[in-house]
Amino acid sequence: MIHSDRPIEILEKTICGLRALGVRQRALHSAMLREILAAHPALFAVWFAWEPDAFDGRDRDFRNAPEHDTTGRFVPYWHRANGQICCEPLTGYGPNAPGDWYSATRRYGQPCAIDQPFVYPVAGQLRWITAEISPILEFGRFVGVVGIDKAARPIRRADPSVPSLRALGRSAAAEKLRLLTSREREVHYWLCQGKTNEEIALILGISSHTVKNHLSPIFQKLGIESRYAAIAGQLT
């Protein structure tokens, strides 16, 4: 049992816990989303979206299946519609979508929020919602996003379909980590696990020289001087 006042944290921890146990069944992860929504009446929807083939490498087997899009990406959107809990594929997460909140969350690498209500199509109707979104990271690598939506009252704005995203930035350390690129986050993660340059290179499928070249910008952005300082920072 995970105790938390924030449903987004429950989602993150549950997903990571299942993945750590080797659970890759899409139906089980989808059922978990439904259970969390049912347990939190204040929420309008819970959902996640995975990078191409990041969930289990089987996207092509799920093309156009329920809870998936035409590419087979796993994008279940569990929501409350017409008094029932239903599921449909998440939409609006592509690079040309209004607000581009998916790519922005990937870029920030930390929890984000859409505080100002915006409209989103659900079950054939436009609904006003707000949202919290967090990146799903595995071994420092971005593999998708998880989110919760809450129903909101309509407001006047020029274009209600364009959400405005803000990074929550809970700590100075989180702000520094935002400065790292996706690859730098991966190197930093394994660095903090005590791996050598050669071990990191083997894990990431790059050369040890490339790993070494990443260390200088990582140290500079984080304001540290050595790999030992990076490890110590994770322990404090």
**pTM of the full predicted structure?**
0.75
Q: What is the pLDDT of residue 105?
A: 87
pLDDT in tens, 107-129: 878 888 999 899 999 999 999 99
Residue 59 vs residue 216, higher pLDDT: 59
Quote the percentage of the chain above a pLDDT of 70. 92
Q: Which domains, and CATH codes, for the chain?
A: 7-169 (3.30.450.20), 179-235 (1.10.10.10)
Average pLDDT for the chain: 86
- pLDDT at residue 52 tops 80: yes
Q: What is the pLDDT of residue 2?
A: 40
Question: In terms of C-beta distances under 8 Å and separation of at least 24 residues, what long-range contacts does 189-194 make, across chains too?
Answer: 189/137, 189/139, 189/140, 189/141, 190/139, 190/140, 191/215, 191/218, 191/227, 191/230, 191/231, 192/230, 192/231, 192/233, 192/234, 194/231
